[in-house]
Chain A
Amino acid sequence: MTRNWDIIQQGDWIVIKMPSGNQKLIQLQPNVQIELGKFGKFQSSELIGKYYSVPLEIYDRDKLKRVENTDYLLDFEIDPRVETDATNQEIFDDANSQKLTQKDIEEMKLKSLDGSVHHQTIIKEIVSNNEKFNEKTEFAKAKYIKRKVKKYSKIFIPLFPNARNLIEYHNLKNPEKIHELRIDSLSQILTYANVRAGSRMLVCDDTGGLLATAILERTHGLGTCYFFHDGQNASLEIMKCSNFSNEVLSSFKTFAYQNIGKQPELREIEEGADVKPELIEKINARNANIKETFSTLEQGGFDSLIISTKFDTTEVIKKLEQFLAPSAIVVAYSARKELILEAYEYCRKSPSYANTFLTESWLREYQVPVFTSGTHPNMMMSGSGGFIFSATTVTTPEGLVIDKTTKRRKTSKN
């Protein structure tokens, strides 16, 4: 039975986008109350069977239902296209404009959490008790209501943890962890490396597995992905939140840097030892697995090497280039240009690389021009998406000598 990946299921990881703009990453456990702080709480079982990306409203204390109309402005009949004479010339900043006291609002908030008061009622109350509201321009009214929605609404959106949403989530929480990757940089890394179903890749990813997640999404488990790490185990905190099936994960193998070039350590069974046959089988299977992992790596011929590492990029390339096939692609990413300059120089000068380039990408988001009379770039924009360096491996056959000094013979008159 192929699963409809747009529907939430038990055990899924979900990124919850709250009205304030904050996000939360949870795993769907059975029979648990999921708390969203001031936005309310609900039973985890309510999420099962709902669609991803569809807004849900918390009502009746702990239940969820789908919201059809996500535009609050429609509920308040505000259309910024309408022209009015209102200006903010006479509107002064006065704390007494709002007739409701802090206490009243707090009471209403508690009632909203209880489920007895609808969140829209709170906002309507606040709006109607604001003396200056009707004097505002339509734009200002819309802005005011949007601010209240951010604070009091109980509508959230459950998102699927694919690479795009995980980047947004981690950008809010801890951008350094994902090396300040941006969605366009990540997508460029994937295309330059020609990541597709069936490709065989070496990945050096110290972002907690974000790159690996994006790669596995594009391969769906077809092909091979070797993930290099230091220490005993790979740190894959981000990848475990990505709802991959076992099929997809079967193509994913971790490998320690220190094991490159060495023989695999196999667990031997002493002859005549008193061990259960099932255990022997398990150990044999595990040994076979390890042998295969090592031998596949030794065979080489990989299509691409993708790097976003805490180590020195040049060293990583030098250590792993032996496993790449000719006409394979090396892609390295860093948030800081200086950290990959050396690698760029190394590849540019080396006869075994061609088509080396170093790029930076510029991305700017614009306000969505719906109802409003125009659009403009958002004030806060992303400062940088990091730097991407790419090179293609080439080989020179033995004995090939290019003699540039010989010029084409011209017909001479003598």
Chain B
Amino acid sequence: MTDLKQNNLNFQQSLEEWINQKRQTLDGYKRNYQDKVNALKDQHQSLVLFQKSLEKKQQQLLLEIQQYDTKKQDLLLDLQEINVKEEQQYSQLQDINRAVNNLQLEINQKLKEQEKTMILQKERKAIAQPTLLFYQKILSLYIQPLGVVGCNPPIQEMDDLTRELNQSKDFYGFIKKNPSDMKAFQVKKDQVFANKFGAFEHNKIIGKQYGEKMASKSNTGFIYLLYPTPELWTLALPHRTQILYQPDISLVTNMLNLQPGSVMIEAGTGSGSFSHSISRTTYPNGHLYTFEYHQERAQKALLEFKEHGLNNITVEHRDVCKNGFGIENKVNADLPSPWEAIENAKRAFLTDRIGYICCFSPCIEQVTRTCTKLKEEGFVDLSNIGREHNVRKIQILKLPTDNKSVNRLKRPNEDEIDGVLATRIKPQVRGHTSFLTFAMLLPKE
């Protein structure tokens, strides 16, 4: 038995030792575990702290975002306001422009109508008055030191309207054999006009009629005093540039449909030959805007138009190729490079009327460029009139049929010889002036 008890005691002891060992290890484990738990707790705390700090940061950022949002909204609102204001101002501007344009149109219309009625009234009055009054009227109007001529009554009526055209410049052609002897001058007191036919005192001219033949001082020569017309002026004017002659002028006038009331732009005043004709054709209620890029010529032209009393011309010193025109609806471009002016010309036309344009070019290459540009700008109905016009001066020679002598009489007395009327054409004629290119700009719908 004691062996068993001893065994039991040993077993118990060993068991207790094992248990103690195990307890120790368990304690160790517990301690470890505690340490770990403590460590974890510390970590947890620090993490919690970290999280809190992160949350704080997040809140701050949210606040900032909110602030930015509000700022952005404010800016957007401001932008909107500005846009709205801009639109308002823009529409106001447009309204004002429209109103101004309408007013201008109204004013122009009314002015035109007024002028027309005034002229019609004037004309009717002039016809109704008896002859005596005419003469009195003439005398009081015309006794001026410049350009005084007595007239037949109906010429006075014409002069009432056209006196403004050709007020104080008297023309006289001395046509002996050929109109190249034609000269123009202004009648002034105490002056004398001298030429190969003699000396002619202005004082004696004053009081004569237009169309009168006048003898020179020494009675050896004579001249005719002719009423000034643009045709005579073209033949007599001082050339500052190559000018347009009447055949070109008259064709362009018709092709551009110029009439009283037409408004025309002339690019390239030159010596003013065409300008006089346009002024006469568009009188009384039309207008000519003429542009010249050479300053001296522009000034001379301005002076000339003033002296001649042409009050429906506006001369401007301007390079139209670079700077454009202003307004209105018929354009004539007599420039070295008209295609440069065409774009600007297009802007000058009214959009509810047909615009006519004519370009002058002596060379065919210029014509090609002009036509291409016209087509690009939308001009239609281009027609090219090769103005190789020959105005052939046809002279009449009477052919003596004298069967007695072989020699032709040097100066036959035409009434005494038998003859036939025959014509010949001058051997040298002005063959080519320019190619004329015509086009139309159609009105917009």
Which residues on A are within 8 Å of B, measured CB to CB?
Answer: 2, 4, 6, 51-54, 66, 70, 162-164, 183-184, 186-188, 190-192, 194, 196-200, 214, 217-220, 222-223, 296, 299-303, 325-329, 337, 341-342, 344-345, 348-349, 354-355, 357-370, 374-375, 377, 387, 392-397, 400-404, 406-408
Tell me whether B396 and A368 are in contact (CB under 8 A).
no
Q: Which one of B19-27, B218-226, B400-408 contacts A?
A: B218-226
Query: Which residues in A have their C-beta under 8 angstroms from that of B260?
Result: 196-197, 218-220, 222
Tell me whether A300 and B394 are in contact (CB under 8 A).
no
Query: Which residues in B have their C-beta under 8 angstroms from that of A408?
Result: 218, 220
Tell me whether A192 and B246 are in contact (CB under 8 A).
yes
Query: Which residues in A have their C-beta under 8 angstroms from that of B230?
Result: 191, 194
Tell me whether B389 and A184 are in contact (CB under 8 A).
yes
In the complex, which residue of chain A has the Cβ closest to the Cβ of B429? A362
Which residues on B are within 8 Å of A, measured CB to CB?
Answer: 109, 112-113, 119-120, 123, 127, 151-155, 157-158, 160-162, 173, 175, 179, 208-215, 218-222, 224-227, 229-231, 246-247, 249-251, 253-255, 257, 259-261, 277, 280-281, 283-284, 352-354, 364, 367-368, 371-372, 375, 380-396, 414, 421, 423, 425, 435, 440, 442-443, 445
Q: A164-B255, A341-B421, A370-B382 are in contact. Are A362 and B112 (CB under 8 A)?
A: no
Query: Which residues in B have their C-beta under 8 angstroms from that of A303?
Result: 154-155, 158
Q: Can you show 15 pairs from A to B with CB atoms below 8 A apart?
A: A2-B112, A2-B113, A187-B250, A191-B246, A220-B261, A326-B209, A326-B210, A327-B209, A327-B227, A358-B396, A362-B391, A363-B387, A366-B386, A370-B382, A397-B213
CA distance A187 to B250 in the complex (A): 5
Tell me whether B221 and A327 are in contact (CB under 8 A).
no
In the complex, which residue of chain A has the Cβ closest to the Cβ of B443? A51
Query: Which residues in B have their C-beta under 8 angstroms from that of A220?
Result: 259-261
In the complex, which residue of chain A has the Cβ closest to the Cβ of B445? A66
CA distance A40 to B280 in the complex (A): 44
CA distance A61 to B127 in the complex (A): 56
Q: A183-B255, A355-B175 are in contact. Are A362 and B388 (CB under 8 A)?
A: yes
CA distance A364 to B436 in the complex (A): 10
In the complex, which residue of chain A has the Cβ closest to the Cβ of B261? A220
10 residue pairs, one from A and one from B, having the closest CB atoms = A326-B211, A301-B154, A327-B211, A198-B161, A187-B250, A187-B254, A366-B384, A327-B210, A327-B227, A191-B250
- Distance in angstroms from A267 CB to nearest chain B CB is 23
CA distance A328 to B259 in the complex (A): 22
New A-B contacts (15) at CB < 8 Å, excluding given A326-B210, A349-B414, A377-B386: A187-B253, A192-B231, A197-B284, A198-B162, A219-B260, A303-B155, A358-B393, A358-B395, A361-B391, A363-B385, A363-B386, A369-B384, A394-B224, A397-B212, A402-B221
- Distance in angstroms from B133 CB to nearest chain A CB is 14
- Distance in angstroms from A330 CB to nearest chain B CB is 12
Tell me whether B212 and A395 are in contact (CB under 8 A).
yes
CA distance A198 to B116 in the complex (A): 12
Q: A183-B255, A191-B246, A370-B372 are in contact. Are A361 and B389 (CB under 8 A)?
A: yes
User: CB < 8 Å: which of B109, B154, B225, B372 contacts A200?
Assistant: B154
Tell me whether A198 and B158 are in contact (CB under 8 A).
yes
- Distance in angstroms from B142 CB to nearest chain A CB is 15
Number of A-B pairs, beta carbon distance below 8 Å: 258
Give the secondary structure class of A's interface.
mixed
Query: Which residues in B have their C-beta under 8 angstroms from that of A223?
Result: 123, 158, 161
Most chain-A CB neighbours within 10 Å: which of B157, B160, B414? B157
- Distance in angstroms from A249 CB to nearest chain B CB is 14
CA distance A411 to B393 in the complex (A): 43
CA distance A60 to B188 in the complex (A): 72
User: CB < 8 Å: which of B222, B250, B445 contacts A402?
Assistant: B222
- Distance in angstroms from A69 CB to nearest chain B CB is 11
Most chain-B CB neighbours within 10 Å: which of A188, A300, A327, A367? A327
Query: Which residues in B have their C-beta under 8 angstroms from that of A348?
Result: 396
Tell me whether B382 and A368 are in contact (CB under 8 A).
yes
Query: Which residues in A have their C-beta under 8 angstroms from that of B382?
Result: 368, 370
Q: A196-B280, A364-B388, A375-B367 are in contact. Are A395 and B213 (CB under 8 A)?
A: yes
User: CB < 8 Å: which of A218, A325, A341 contacts B152?
Assistant: A325
- Distance in angstroms from A66 CB to nearest chain B CB is 6
Tell me whether A196 and B281 are in contact (CB under 8 A).
yes
- Distance in angstroms from A260 CB to nearest chain B CB is 17
CA distance A374 to B368 in the complex (A): 7
Tell me whether A368 and B383 are in contact (CB under 8 A).
yes
CA distance A71 to B342 in the complex (A): 20
Q: A164-B254, A222-B119 are in contact. Are A393 and B211 (CB under 8 A)?
A: yes
In the complex, which residue of chain B has the Cβ closest to the Cβ of A198? B161
Query: Which residues in B have their C-beta under 8 angstroms from that of A361?
Result: 247, 389-392
Q: A200-B158, A395-B209 are in contact. Are A360 and B352 (CB under 8 A)?
A: no
User: CB < 8 Å: which of A53, A328, A341, A393 contacts B423?
Assistant: A341
Tell me whether B153 and A299 are in contact (CB under 8 A).
yes
Query: Which residues in B have their C-beta under 8 angstroms from that of A341?
Result: 396, 421, 423
- Distance in angstroms from B360 CB to nearest chain A CB is 14
CA distance A93 to B109 in the complex (A): 62
User: CB < 8 Å: which of A296, A325, A365 contacts B155?
Assistant: A325
Most chain-B CB neighbours within 10 Å: which of A192, A303, A408? A303
Tell me whether B211 and A392 are in contact (CB under 8 A).
yes
